[in-house]
Amino acid sequence: MGTRAHLEFWYDDQLAHTRSTEQHIADIVNEMKRLDSAMSPYIESSELSLVNRQAGKQEVVITEELFSLLQVAQKLSKLSKGAFDITYASLGYRYDYRNKIRPDSQVISESLASINYQSIQLDSTKLTVKFTNPNVKIDLGGIAKGYAIKRCIDLLKNKGIEHALMSAGGDTLLLGDRRGRPWMVGIKHPREDDKNVVHLPLNDEAISTSGDYERFFIEDGIRYHHIINPKTGDSAREVVSVSVIGSDATIVDALSTTAFVKGLGDGMKLINSLKGYEAIIIDNKHRLHFSNGLQQ
């Protein structure tokens, strides 16, 4: 998934004899590898790559797992009126942040028509996906890390483990507490890699941070980064960091990307309208903003 993952867990002696710690860790590593090989756009044999090659021509039967993730993505697209849109990739794959390559304005204007989540047709009886526009490509980068850590924490939970922290990139999911105290999760300083701007005590919750510092290059003083506004085809620049807190790791992952695209006003409004979700937004003047439930 092109990012660093971190795992911590505790368990009682009772469980220790059923499987060793090393085996628990190996199971998590295998699960991450399984998800990467299914959902990576960089792996040709991944299910996602197969969909991108074929769904523009015909209906493609997919796994229940990918199908339900696509359903979640579609739900978020509707909720955000297209700010979250996995078809951003129709243009998004033209960006290469490592090699400082970006599409020119002509390519952007040609590709914008292919960014439209409504071109994705899902059939839940047949478990198929089809793109009504042959130029559509999809990418799950805005949602897959959240889903992956959820799967990993579920795996530990099913073995009877009750205290764990798993993170991948900017996404973290907590199971239980940290030996009687809350876990402390830091929100990164957007411009100083080794600094945090906020520390939050959290239990049994997910937090996802989307930042313009994760994947980017700077050209003529302008930062081109990996979160794309589907309406303009350019990087979203009203804010520099959005963290969303809530119970479901997949949803908070999608919501942090969504609120980033929407910007401070609309992004915060969206989070405040959703029960059970909170946000911390850092705007492009590096000022901190908190959602209603975090005001006190």
Between the alpha carbon of residue 291 and those of residues 114, 158, 195, 275, the distances in Å are 34, 33, 22, 12
Could you say which of 69, 85, 149, 172 contacts ligand AMP (CB under 6 A)? 85
Residues 175-214 that bind Mg ion (CB under 5 A): 210
Would you call 50 exposed, middle or buried from its count of C-beta atoms within 10 A (0-12, 13-18, 19+)? middle
Task: Collect all residues with Cβ–Cβ distance below 8 Å to 190 and sequence separation of at least 6.
Answer: 197, 211, 212, 213, 240, 241, 282, 286
Q: Any contact of residue 228 with ligand AMP (CB under 6 A)?
A: yes
Q: Which of residues 35-74 bind ligand AMP (CB under 6 A)?
A: none
Q: Out of ligand AMP, Mg ion, none, which partner does residue 263 contact, by CB within 5 to 8 A per kind?
A: none
Residue 250 identity: T
* Partners of 243 in beta bridges: 209, 280
Site string for ligand AMP, 127-156 (x = CB under 6 A): ------------x-xx--------------
**CA-CA distances (angstroms) from residue 182 to 152, 172, 201, 233, 294?**
20, 14, 5, 40, 17
Nearest to 121 by CA among 41, 58, 35: 58
* By CB under 5 A, residue 169 contacts Mg ion: no
86 binds ligand AMP (CB under 6 A): yes
Query: Applying CB under 5 A, which of residues 56, 142, 230, 263 lies at the interface with Mg ion?
Result: 142
Output the smallest distance, CB 148 to ligand AMP, in A: 11
Handedness of CA 5, 293, 162, 64 (dihedral sign): negative
Going edge to edge, which strands form the sheet with 128-131? 60-61, 128-131, 120-123
Residue 253 engages Mg ion in binding (rule: CB under 5 A): yes
Residues numbered 93 to 132 that lie near ligand AMP (CB under 6 A) are none
**Quick one: what does residue 85 bind among ligand AMP, Mg ion, none, with the CB cut-off 5 to 8 Å set by partner type?**
ligand AMP
Question: For Mg ion, which residue has the nearest CB?
Answer: 257
CA 270 vs. chain centroid, Å, equals: 17
Does 256 help bind ligand AMP (rule: CB under 6 A)? yes
Q: Which residue is nearest to ligand AMP (CB)?
A: 141
Question: Is 80 an interacting residue with respect to Mg ion (CB under 5 A)?
Answer: no
Binding interface with Mg ion (CB under 5 A)? 142, 210, 253, 256-257
